[in-house]
A and B are shown apart, each in its own frame.
Chain A
Amino acid sequence: MALKGNLRDFTITQLLNLINLAQKSGTLMVEGPGEAAQIYFREGKLAYAQVGQEDNSLASILYRANKITTAQHRAIKARAGHMSDKELGLLLINANYLSQQEILNSLQSHFVNALNRIFTWVEGFFRFESEASPPNGKITVRVGLENIIIEGSRRLREWEQLQDEIPSLDMALKYVDRPGLNLRNVNLSVEEWRVASYINPKNTMRQIARATKLNDLEIRRIVYGMLQAGLVEIVRPEGAPPIRTFTERVVESGNKEEHISLINRLIRRIRSL
């Protein structure tokens, strides 16, 4: 019977620990919040990973790892688009573009990053299929899970803390009105500056993350730093679908006087308690 369940009951960390200790081979399929992942293992070691619809071709992975240039990437896509990753890898090694180790290191780093991303999925379903193996023609790696589990646990703790601080990414940010505050005097990283340029009550944090290509953990980390430094505050986004509050309903209904009278009756009653 396939190993399956809910991430609320059995976390990614526990799953990886089980796969590691039992030296399992097969595919872990995880349906997370709005995304799915397939992680392949061989004898308890990470072999291959695909998260969401991300382009997992060798050419794209090497390009993102800065191992090939934009022009080379484009040329490979145009001329060798039909090749499998294994064939392309051999071609690159034989043509002395890259060594076997460089290709394997890029793939390892990509797969480990993919696995790290799913550590913060605390909602969703998982299924482990012993028979399933990576897609044909893909290059697999062998990465021990111990370090990944330790790093993932760290990320999960950080995630939980940031989730407490910033529960919803559907809220917006605005700079605080503080006399003497000059953003130019604050030392921000490149990524923080990119986020800073989008801070506006019209943009939700989710939109900023999308525009700056940051994942949920990364955007929360940056916003948390800015909140702690007192640079920004969380506000409801401008132009968001209005949630009609009691008071707004009152004003719209035209019975304002009646409702003011209601609040005054409440005030008088509570005073008299």
Chain B
Amino acid sequence: MQTVKMVVTGPFNAGKTEFIRSVSEIDVVSTERKISSDAERVKATTTVAMDFGRITVDKDLVLYLFGTPGQKRFDFMWEILSEGMLGFVVMVDSTRPETFREARSILETFRAYAPTPYVVAANKQDLNDAWEIADMRIALRLSPKVKLLPCMAQDKESVKTVLLELLYSILAEMDALES
């Protein structure tokens, strides 16, 4: 049995757990804890070690999805989780520009760990106060080559699109390396 993994990362409350939950065939193994910090009490719980989802491809191949903890004090987990990944998704909450800076920081940190393909998912695009994709690209300082995809983490089709785009990027990189 071969296993491969992708990592879903991003700031606190960006929607990483929800993203994995939407496509995982098992209940997401989540290490959530009640939030102690007032500043981060946007939601009741947060991931402290990792989320873990699974998609069985066939009898020989399984894809694991790992969600990183969003709070910075758990960033020691990031390098461990990024080891050997196929690629990664950076989730950003489109309605919370105050988290964009942290999203950039997380992106740079992951790029430093391993130059694997990645895509950026602009989550919560269905909400009224979501930033436009073009504006987010500038705010996140993403080059035109980086895929910035609208996303709604609870919507399976939307999550599928993000994962597929990441896989297409991996294929494209394989082609580029050969040439």
Contacts and interface: CB of A to CB of B under 8 A. Distances in A.
Interface residues of B, number: 40
B89 to A, nearest CB: 13
A251 interface: yes
Contacts of B85: 246
A250 B101 contact: no
Contact of B177 (A164, A247, A262): A247
B55 A273 contact: yes
B77 interface: no
Given A164-B101, A247-B177, A273 B156 contact: yes
Interface in A215-273: 227, 233-234, 236, 243, 245-248, 250-251, 256, 259-260, 262-267, 269-271, 273
A259 B101 CA distance: 35
B108 A171 contact: yes
A176 B145 CA distance: 13
Contact of A250 (B84, B87, B117, B174): B174
B41 interface: no
Interface string B54-90: 0111100101000000000000000000001111000
Given A167-B108, A260-B174, A262-B4, A267 B114 contact: no
A168 interface: yes
Nearest to A259: B174
Majority SS of interface residues in chain B? helix
Contact of B115 (A163, A243, A269, A271): A243
B128 interface: no
A239 to B, nearest CB: 14
Contacts of A251: 174, 177-178
B26 interface: no
A163 B164 CA distance: 33
Interface string B143-179: 1000000000000100010011001101101100110
B57 A269 contact: yes
A170 interface: yes
A262 B174 contact: no
B109 A270 contact: no
Contacts of B58: 265, 269
A259 B61 CA distance: 12
Given A248-B177, A256-B174, A270-B23, A168 B164 contact: no
Interface string B117-143: 100000000000000000000000101
Given A251-B174, A273-B23, A245 B116 contact: yes
A165 interface: yes
A15 interface: no
A266 B108 CA distance: 27
Interface in B99-119: 101-102, 104-105, 108-109, 111-117
Contact of A247 (B61, B156, B168, B174): B174
Nearest to B176: A247
B37 interface: no
Contacts of B36: none
Contacts of B170: 246-247, 263
10 contacts: A164-B101, A166-B108, A234-B108, A236-B112, A251-B174, A256-B174, A265-B61, A266-B4, A269-B56, A270-B163
Given A165-B104, A233-B143, 6 more contacts: A164-B101, A165-B105, A245-B116, A250-B174, A264-B171, A265-B57
Interface of B: 2, 4, 23, 55-58, 61, 63, 84-87, 101-102, 104-105, 108-109, 111-117, 141, 143, 156, 160, 163-164, 167-168, 170-171, 173-174, 177-178
Across the A-B interface, give the 8 residue pairs with the lowest CB-CB distance, nearest first.
Answer: A269-B57, A164-B105, A168-B112, A251-B177, A245-B116, A247-B173, A167-B109, A267-B167
